[in-house]
Amino acid sequence: MIDKETLYNLYWEQGLSVRQIGKILGKSERTIRNWMEKYGIPRRSYKEAWQVRKTQQNIDFQEPTDQISTQILDNIIESLADKVPEVKYDYQERENINISLPLKALEKISSNERPSLTVTIVISDLHLGHESHLPETYWSCIYNLERVLKFLSKIFDIKRARVVLNGDIVSGRNIYRKQELENLIQRGHWQVFLAERVIKRTLEQIEQIVPVHKVYLIKGHHEDTESNYMLYLKKSLGDKATYCSRYVILDIGEPIGHYNVLFTHGYGRSQYYPVSPSFIRDILKTLSDFKSRGIVVERIVTAHSHWLNPEIIFESTRISVTGGFQKWQYSIQQRPSGILLLIYSEDECSVVPIQPLEQIETFERTEPNLEYKNMAYYAQILREHYKYYEKEYDSDERVMTLYGDMFEQG
């Protein structure tokens, strides 16, 4: 094992990168990083790294700024073009989507009536920015969601549509040890730019069928307090978005009835059940407290476990769980991806799991080039984001005003 003084000299005095030091010593980059962390040797900042590269290669690099260059993004996309195909947004149909509908509403339909309906779309655990995000799987779900909404709009009068983003939309940073090694976009605020474009595109596709009344943003574990991505995302989505912190109780029946649902990201871990025992224990106590104050919660919708399940009944409490869009890394078993569609009509609520095409999910989870595909996918989205604001704002100062401290050094 190399001593601290020699490692410090190689990195700071000679200006070698972690990769170059690893090649000299015959060690992996991760080993060198671990040694630096053990010795307390700080890493170069973004600007310092560029300055070292400029000095070593004697090239007139521009000083790095927080405004990412479209040329850099174009180079990333071009360099990966021959390795991975582009992410698609149109998919073949998933057969046999089972849609459970409220019984009283079905009775009205059989009588040639057109009952009123509300829909609430719940999405969570995208983990945008991470190397194991499943983009094809996500967009396949959205495609199938569109099909279900088109079907419902033909036989129902959809009075209101809501979207709940139930946490962990971004991968975040500093959430767990060495997470920076798994984030393809290292500096946290770029992840909210990814999220902005993905969510806006999602809303655009939904609103081709039904207008979205409100978007509710709930904090997960990866939207840490220090870099509160959900507040940034709320700012970019405008007046339609409402930030709800850790949980919110929504009357999803409004304006045609009343049905209270508690939305929260959840917590705890279980390898065997969609909801952890600690979460169930605490949520039952919480519901009891609400009931003592006259607030009746008729369903819990949670996330976190990446384990799609529309209906769990525990001591008369109904719990629904959204799926995640990340390759499950802790075991061979892969938990089901998907989003939930809550349908309310005639004083009843049914929950429809919206899943991707099976072939897409299976292929993407086993694809060896998933990290490269995400790299190209993120670069494409960031390029779109850059060009959008390049047109929207006349100067960098106006962009800086919009995003504030998102442009600060991470």
**Tens-place pLDDT, residues 369-399:** 888 888 888 888 888 887 776 655 444 444 4
Average pLDDT over residues 163-171: 91
Terminal alpha carbon distance of the chain: 31
Buried b (16+ CB within 10 A) or exposed e, 49-72: eebbeeeeeeeeeeebebebeeee
269-278 own/partner pairs: CB under 8 Å, 24+ apart: 269/305, 270/305, 271/330, 271/331, 274/305, 274/307, 274/308, 274/309, 274/312, 274/321, 275/302, 275/305, 275/312, 275/314, 275/319, 275/321, 276/305
Separation CA 32–CA 36 (nearest Å): 6
The single-letter DSSP state of residue 41 is P
Separation CA 227–CA 135 (nearest Å): 24
Where residue 220 falls among pLDDT bands split at 50, 70, 90? Answer: confident
Tell me if 190 sits within 8 A of 129, measured CB to CB.
yes
pLDDT at 83: 66
Angle subtended by helix axes 370-392 and 70-80, to nearest 10 = 150
Query: Is residue 162 scored above 60 in pLDDT?
Result: yes
**Domain ranges across the chain:** 1-53, 103-370
**Tens-place pLDDT, residues 41-83:** 988 765 566 566 556 555 443 443 444 566 667 776 777 766 6
Query: Is residue 93 scored above 90 in pLDDT?
Result: no
pTM reported for the whole predicted model: 0.74
**Is the CATH code 3.60.21.10 the one for domain 103-370?**
yes
Query: Is residue 240 scored above 80 in pLDDT?
Result: yes
Angle subtended by helix axes 135-155 and 189-207, to nearest 10 = 30
Element (H, E) at 352: strand 348-354
Residue in 352, 351, 347, 346 with CA at minimum distance from that of residue 110: 346
Most confident of 43-52, 145-154, 179-188: 145-154
Separation CA 248–CA 262 (nearest Å): 6
The structure tokens listed for 288 are: 């009891």
